[in-house]
C-alpha cells in the first residue's frame, strides 16, 4: 500500500467487524516477527515441565526474517514494515535495513523522521561492514539524509549528532591533508554547536563541549558544558533513573566544574542507575580522558569513586541481569537532606525529559501503561510535537473560557504565561472543557462522581463508553493476548474527549511541562548566545536565575491511594499483605516507620521489618483481609463508619498532580500543593491545596503520607471529622521511556487503530473544539454496540426525547436524578448528597499518627 489506512472517527465506530479483522491480522504479524526473533527454544521434559532446550543462532533468526521479507512489503502498513526494520536493526543488519527502505512503497514509512534517522544511522554504520566500498560515499549519504530532515523541520539531537560524527569520521580519513582534516573537524564541532543552539538537547551540548576541547577550545568547551548541564537538569537528571541522562549530567558537571556536592550527587545517582559493567566502563573511560586533558579535582574524585564501584561490585548479576554492589547503594534522588522532597520525587513523575533524543536510538515514546486491562497509553514524539504546538497558542485560541479581564491580561501564548499557578488554572479549564468533566459527553454524568455512580452492572455511562470504544476497535474487553495492540495516544483521548483522572493528570502534566520547557529553553538560549561569542556564562545573572526559578517550580504526577480511618468492605488478599497491628519505631536517621505485626491465618503473629515486607522464600504467604477499594462500610443513613482502632484504609485509587517549589541551594521543599485537574468541585477540593509540610510523614520504605484535609463530622458515624491522606505509590525507578519497535513514531492510534485527523495541530484543534460531534461519536458507539447492557440506565437523554419538549437542561438534571436513584446501591444515596458539603471545618485536628499504621 502506498499509504497507511487511517480511519476517521465516523468510520471507526462503524467498523466493529472490520477493526476486529485488522486487529487479528496485525496480531498474527507481530506474533510471526516475535517467533522469528526468539532466542530461547523451550521444550517440555518427561514430567511436563518447560525447560530451555537450546538457543537459536543469529543465522536461524535471519532465515525466518528473510522469509518474511521475501513476501515483499507492499501489503504491509508502516508499523509492520517498521517491525521488520527494527528486527534487522536489533541484529545489527544495516544492509537489510537499507534494502527494506529502498524497496518500501509505503510513503508513511519512508517519510517518517524516525525511520529516516535510523536509515542515516544504518549508512553510517554500514561503511565498516561493507568491504571494497568507498565508505566516504556512505558517510556523505548519511549526512544528506540528516540534512534533509533538518530542512524539513525535523532536526533533533540525533540528526545533528549524526552529521557531526560523519564529519569527524571523514576528518579521520584525511591522513594526508592535515589542513583539510582540521577544516572537517572544525565543521563537525560547528554542526554540534548549531544543533545544540537549535534543540538544547543535553547530550548534544556535551558532544559540542567535548568537540571544543578536542580542537583546543578548552574554555568554550567548559562554558558549553555548563549549559549542557542545565539542559540535563531541565530533563530531570537530578532524580532520573535513566543512565544516559545521569551520565550526561555527571560528565557535563565535571567538565563545567560544578561544586563538589553536585558532582557527588550525580556519582551516587550513577551508582544507583548503573545496570551493566559496560556502562561503568564508558563513564570511567570518559573520566580518564577528562583527567588527562583538563585535570580537575572533580574528575579525579569521580574517577576514584568509579574505581571504588568496581571493587564494590559482586561477581555475577541479579536475575534481571543487573550488576550488584556489596554495599547497598544510597538511593538519594535529590541533592537534599529533605526526606519529604525526596519521598515525593521518588513516588511521582513528570514529562520534562520525555520524547527526547538523549537515550540513544531506540526510544520514541514514554510508554505509560495504566492498570492491567486498560489500553496502553502512549506519549510519542507525535504527542509531544502536537502538545508543544498547542502551548504556542493563546488561551483564547485554545478556546479556554475566560473573563473579559483575563482575555486582556493573557493575550499571549500559553507558554508565555509565567505565573505558574495562573497557567495551571487555565490548563485545568482547557482539560476539563475538552474532557467534558462536568457533564461527560452531555450525558449528565459529572466525572467526579464516576467512582461511585455505578449501575447494577457495576458501570457508569463513562465505563460503558470506554468498553464500547474498545470493542469498536476490535478488541474484546479484558482480552489477555500479548500481541494485541491497544496503543492509545494521549492526543487521541483529548480529541475524543474521553478521560478519567489519569488522563486529566497526564494532559495537565504534559501541557505544563511543555510550557516550562519552552521557558527554560529561552533562558538557556540567551546564555548560549554568549558562549558562542566566547563569553563566560553568568551563572548568577538574570537568565540563570529565571531558569532555576522555573526548574524549581515543578509539577509532578502521582498515583496515590486515598486513605482515611474509615471501615471498608473486605476481601481475601493473596500474598503477604499487612495486618493493621504494630508500633511506630525510629530508624537510624530518626525517621519513624511502622513496624508491622503480621497476622497469619493460623493466628500466629510475626514481626515484619518493614511495612512493605515480602514473604521470605519457603515461607507460606498468609491469607489476609484487604480493603475493597471504592466500597466503604456505611451506616444505614449512609455515613462512613470510623475505624474504632483509628487505622487507615484505602478508600480509592487516584491519580493527580502536585505542585512543588524548592530552594535551589538546599533542595528543601518550600511549598507543596495538590494540583488536581480532576477532583475540584465535589468530593474533594484538591485543585490547589497547600499541604502542611511539617505534617507530612515518610515511611521507612520511602512513601510519603500526605495530609490533604478532612472528611467532615457530618459524614461520619461518630460525628467527629477524620483526616484524609494521600499515599503516593512508587511508579518505577524513574525510567519511563520504553522501546516501541513497531511504530514509525508519528501515527496516532486509538486502541491500536490508526486514526486520521492528526496531521497538524489545527486538525487536532478542530476536533477539540467540536465537543458535540465527538460526544455523538461516543454515544453512537455505545448505542450500536450489541454488548452494551441496559442502555436506558446509561443514556438518560433517550428517555428525555420520549418525554417531550422540555427545557433541555432541566431534562438532563431530572434524568440524572432518576439515573442516580436507579443506580445507587443502598446506602450510597445519602453519601452522594453529603459528598458536596465537605471540608467546612478548617481547624485541622491532628490525628496522632502513632495510634495507627498505614500501608500502601
Q: Site residues (CB under 8 A) for another protein?
A: 39-40, 55-58, 61-62, 90-92, 125, 128-129, 165, 168-169, 171-173, 175, 181, 185, 210-211, 213-214, 276-279, 281-282, 285-286, 289, 292-293, 317, 321, 360
614 Cβ neighbours under 8 A, 6+ residues apart: 576
Rg (CA), the chain: 29
730 Cβ neighbours under 8 A, 6+ residues apart: 346, 347, 702, 703
47 vs 278, beta carbon nearer another protein: 278
We find the least distance from the C-beta atom of residue 176 to another protein, in angstroms, to be 11
56 vs 187, beta carbon nearer another protein: 56
Q: Give residue for cell 538560549.
A: 525
CB 355 within 8 A of CB 157: no
Beta pairing partners, 43: 51
Using DSSP bridges, classify how beta strands 689-690 and 669-674 pair: parallel, antiparallel or unpaired.
antiparallel
HEC profile of 176-208:
CCHHHHHHHHHHHHHHHHHHHHHHCCHHHHHHH
65 vs 567, beta carbon nearer another protein: 65
CB 539 within 8 A of CB 531: no
286 vs 697, beta carbon nearer another protein: 286
We find the least distance from the C-beta atom of residue 247 to another protein, in angstroms, to be 9
Alpha carbon distances (Å) from 726 to 61, 502, 655, 658, 836: 49, 15, 10, 11, 20
55 vs 607, beta carbon nearer another protein: 55
Instruction: Return the ∠ at Cα 400 (arms to 399 and 401), rounded to 5°.
Output: 110
We find the least distance from the C-beta atom of residue 290 to another protein, in angstroms, to be 9
We find the least distance from the C-beta atom of residue 224 to another protein, in angstroms, to be 13
34 vs 279, beta carbon nearer another protein: 279
CA atoms within 13 A of residue 87's CA, in its CB half-sphere? 28
We find the least distance from the C-beta atom of residue 282 to another protein, in angstroms, to be 5
50 vs 176, beta carbon nearer another protein: 176
| CA neighbor of 26 nearest in space, from 10, 41, 4, 11 | 4
277 vs 692, beta carbon nearer another protein: 277
We find the least distance from the C-beta atom of residue 175 to another protein, in angstroms, to be 6
We find the least distance from the C-beta atom of residue 143 to another protein, in angstroms, to be 15
CA atoms within 13 A of residue 150's CA, in its CB half-sphere? 20
Dist. CA 119–CA 219, nearest whole Å: 35
Chain center to CA of 521: 21
We find the least distance from the C-beta atom of residue 539 to another protein, in angstroms, to be 24
Q: Which three cell numbers stand for residue 308?
A: 571504588
We find the least distance from the C-beta atom of residue 85 to another protein, in angstroms, to be 16
Dist. CA 688–CA 47, nearest whole Å: 61
We find the least distance from the C-beta atom of residue 788 to another protein, in angstroms, to be 46
CB atoms within 10 A of CB 464: 23
173 vs 756, beta carbon nearer another protein: 173
We find the least distance from the C-beta atom of residue 91 to another protein, in angstroms, to be 4
182 vs 572, beta carbon nearer another protein: 182
We find the least distance from the C-beta atom of residue 202 to another protein, in angstroms, to be 14
Indicate the SS3 state at residue 363: strand
Indicate the SS3 state at residue 313: strand
138 Cβ neighbours under 8 A, 6+ residues apart: 123, 124, 126, 127, 130
We find the least distance from the C-beta atom of residue 208 to another protein, in angstroms, to be 11
Overall size of the chain counted in residues: 856
Which burial class, exposed, middle or buried, applies to 112 when counting CB atoms under 10 A from its CB (0-12, 13-18, 19+)?
A: buried
276 vs 773, beta carbon nearer another protein: 276
39 vs 760, beta carbon nearer another protein: 39
Q: Where are the alpha helices (DSSP H) in 695-827?
A: 761-769, 771-784, 791-794, 796-803, 808-823
Q: Which helix (H) or strand (E) holds 710?
A: strand 704-711
DSSP per residue, 795-813: -HHHHHHHH-S--HHHHHH
Q: Which three cell numbers stand for residue 473?
A: 476497535
Q: Which three cell numbers stand for residue 183?
A: 577544516
Q: Give residue for cell 489477555.
A: 480
We find the least distance from the C-beta atom of residue 712 to another protein, in angstroms, to be 56
Dist. CA 271–CA 704, nearest whole Å: 24
We find the least distance from the C-beta atom of residue 584 to another protein, in angstroms, to be 43
Using DSSP bridges, classify how beta strands 753-754 and 749-750 pair: parallel, antiparallel or unpaired.
antiparallel
162 vs 350, beta carbon nearer another protein: 162
We find the least distance from the C-beta atom of residue 63 to another protein, in angstroms, to be 12
131 vs 533, beta carbon nearer another protein: 131
288 vs 663, beta carbon nearer another protein: 288
181 vs 628, beta carbon nearer another protein: 181
Helices 113-129 and 135-151: angle between axes, nearest 10 degrees: 170
Q: Which three cell numbers stand for residue 691?
A: 499541604
Amino acid at each position: 500500500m502506498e499509504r497507511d489506512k487511517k480511519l476517521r472517527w465516523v468510520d471507526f465506530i462503524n467498523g466493529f467487524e472490520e477493526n476486529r479483522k485488522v486487529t487479528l491480522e496485525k496480531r498474527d504479524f507481530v506474533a510471526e516477527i516475535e517467533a522469528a526473533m526468539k532466542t530461547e527454544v523451550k521444550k517440555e521434559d518427561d514430567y511436563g515441565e518447560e525447560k530451555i532446550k537450546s538457543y537459536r543462532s543469529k543465522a536461524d533468526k535471519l532465515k525466518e526474517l528473510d522469509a518474511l521479507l521475501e513476501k515483499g512489503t507492499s501489503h504491509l502498513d508502516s508499523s509492520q514494515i517498521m517491525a521488520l526494520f527494527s528486527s534487522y536493526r536489533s541484529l545489527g543488519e544495516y544492509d537489510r535495513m537499507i534494502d527494506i527502505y529502498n524497496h518500501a512503497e509505503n510513503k508513511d514509512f519512508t517519510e517518517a523522521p524516525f525511520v529516516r534517522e535510523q536509515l542515516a544511522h544504518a549508512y553510517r554504520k554500514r561503511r565498516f561492514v561493507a568491504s571494497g566500498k568507498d565508505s566516504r560515499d556512505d558517510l556523505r549519504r548519511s549526512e544528506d539524509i540528516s540534512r534533509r530532515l533538518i530542512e524539513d523541520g525535523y532536526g533533533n539531537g540525533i540528526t545533528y549528532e549524526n552529521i557531526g560524527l560523519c564529519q569527524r569520521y571523514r576528518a579521520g580519513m584525511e591522513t594526508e591533508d592535515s589542513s583539510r582534516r582540521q577544516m572537517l573537524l572544525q565543521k563537525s564541532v560547528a554542526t554540534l554547536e548549531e544543533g545544540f543552539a537549535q534543540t538544547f538537547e543535553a547530550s548534544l551540548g556535551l558532544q559540542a563541549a567535548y568537540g571544543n576541547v578536542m580542537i583546543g577550545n578548552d574554555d568554550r568547551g567548559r562554558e558549553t558544558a555548563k549549559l549542557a548541564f542545565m539542559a540535563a537538569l531541565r530533563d530531570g537528571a537530578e532524580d532520573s533513573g535513566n543512565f544516559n541522562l545521569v551520565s550526561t549530567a555527571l560528565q557535563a558537571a565535571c567538565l563545567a566544574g560544578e561544586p563538589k556536592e553536585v558532582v557527588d550527587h550525580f556519582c551516587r545517582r550513577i551508582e544507583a542507575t548503573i545496570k551493566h559493567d559496560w556502562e561503568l566502563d564508558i563513564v570511567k573511560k570518559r573520566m580518564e580522558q577528562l583527567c588527562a586533558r583538563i585535570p580537575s579535582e572533580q574528575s579525579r574524585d569521580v574517577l576514584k569513586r568509579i574505581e571504588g564501584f568496581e571493587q564494590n561490585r559482586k561477581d555475577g548479576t541479579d536475575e534481571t541481569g543487573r550488576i550488584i554492589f556489596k554495599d547497598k547503594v544510597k538511593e538519594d534522588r535529590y541533592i537534599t537532606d529533605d526526606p519529604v522532597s525526596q519521598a515525593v520525587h521518588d513516588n511521582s513523575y513528570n514529562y520534562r525529559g520525555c520524547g527526547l533524543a538523549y537515550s540513544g536510538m531506540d526510544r520514541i515514546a514514554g510508554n505509560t501503561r495504566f492498570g492491567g486491562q486498560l489500553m496502553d497509553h502512549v506519549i510519542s514524539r507525535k504527542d509531544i510535537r502536537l502538545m508543544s504546538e498547542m502551548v504556542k497558542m493563546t488561551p483564547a485560541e485554545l478556546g479556554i473560557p475566560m473573563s473579559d479581564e483575563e482575555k486582556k491580561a493573557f493575550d499571549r501564548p500559553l507558554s508565555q504565561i509565567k505565573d505558574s499557578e495562573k497557567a495551571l488554572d487555565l490548563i485545568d479549564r482547557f482539560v476539563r472543557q475538552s474532557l467534558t468533566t462536568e457533564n461527560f459527553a452531555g450525558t449528565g454524568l459529572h466525572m467526579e462522581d464516576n467512582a461511585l455512580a455505578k449501575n447494577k452492572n457495576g458501570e457508569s455511562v463513562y465505563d460503558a463508553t470506554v468498553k464500547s470504544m474498545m470493542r469498536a476497535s476490535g478488541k474484546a474487553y479484558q482480552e489477555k493476548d500479548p500481541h494485541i495492540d491497544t496503543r492509545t495516544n494521549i492526543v487521541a483521548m483529548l480529541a475524543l474527549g474521553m478521560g478519567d483522572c489519569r488522563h486529566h493528570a497526564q494532559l495537565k502534566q504534559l501541557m505544563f511541562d511543555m510550557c516550562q520547557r519552552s521557558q527554560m529553553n529561552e533562558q538557556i538560549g540567551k546564555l548560549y548566545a554568549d558562549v558562542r561569542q566566547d563569553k563566560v556564562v553568568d551563572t548568577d545573572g538574570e537568565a540563570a536565575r529565571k531558569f532555576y526559578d522555573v526548574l524549581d517550580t515543578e509539577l509532578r504526577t502521582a498515583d496515590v491511594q486515598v486513605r482515611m480511618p474509615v471501615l471498608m468492605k473486605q476481601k481475601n488478599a493473596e500474598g503477604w499483605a499487612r495486618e493493621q497491628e504494630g508500633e511506630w519505631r525510629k530508624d537510624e536517621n530518626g525517621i519513624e516507620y511502622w513496624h508491622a505485626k503480621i497476622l497469619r491465618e493460623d493466628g500466629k503473629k510475626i514481626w515484619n521489618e518493614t511495612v512493605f515486607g515480602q514473604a521470605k522464600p519457603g515461607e507460606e504467604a498468609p491469607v489476609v483481609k484487604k480493603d475493597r477499594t471504592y466500597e466503604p462500610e456505611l451506616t444505614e443513613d449512609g455515613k462512613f463508619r470510623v475505624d474504632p482502632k483509628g487505622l487507615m484504609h484505602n478508600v480509592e485509587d487516584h491519580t493527580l498532580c502536585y505542585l512543588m517549589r524548592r530552594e535551589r541551594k538546599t533542595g528543601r521543599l518550600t511549598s507543596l500543593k495538590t494540583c488536581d485537574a480532576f477532583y475540584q468541585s465535589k468530593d474533594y477540593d484538591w485543585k490547589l491545596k497547600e499541604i502542611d509540610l511539617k505534617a507530612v510523614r515518610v515511611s521507612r520504605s520511602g512513601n510519603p503520607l500526605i495530609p490533604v484535609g478532612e472528611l467532615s463530622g457530618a459524614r461520619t458515624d461518630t460525628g467527629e471529622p477524620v483526616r484524609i491522606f494521600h499515599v503516593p505509590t512508587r511508579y518505577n525507578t524513574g525510567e519511563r521511556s520504553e522501546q516501541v519497535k513497531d511504530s514509525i513514531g508519528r501515527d496516532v492510534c486509538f486502541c491500536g487503530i490508526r486514526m486520521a485527523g492528526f496531521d497538524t495541530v489545527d486538525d487536532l484543534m478542530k476536533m477539540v473544539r467540536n465537543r458535540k460531534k465527538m460526544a455523538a461519536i461516543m454515544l453512537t458507539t455505545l448505542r450500536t454496540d450489541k454488548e452494551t447492557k441496559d442502555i436506558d440506565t446509561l443514556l438518560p437523554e433517550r428517555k428525555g426525547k420520549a418525554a417531550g419538549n422540555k427545557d433541555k437542561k432541566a431534562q438532563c438534571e431530572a434524568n440524572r436524578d432518576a439515573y442516580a436513584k436507579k443506580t445507587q446501591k443502598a446506602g450510597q444515596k445519602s453519601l452522594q448528597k453529603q459528598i458536596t458539603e465537605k471540608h467546612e471545618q478548617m481547624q485541622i485536628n491532628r490525628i496522632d499518627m502513632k495510634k495507627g499504621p498505614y500501608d500502601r
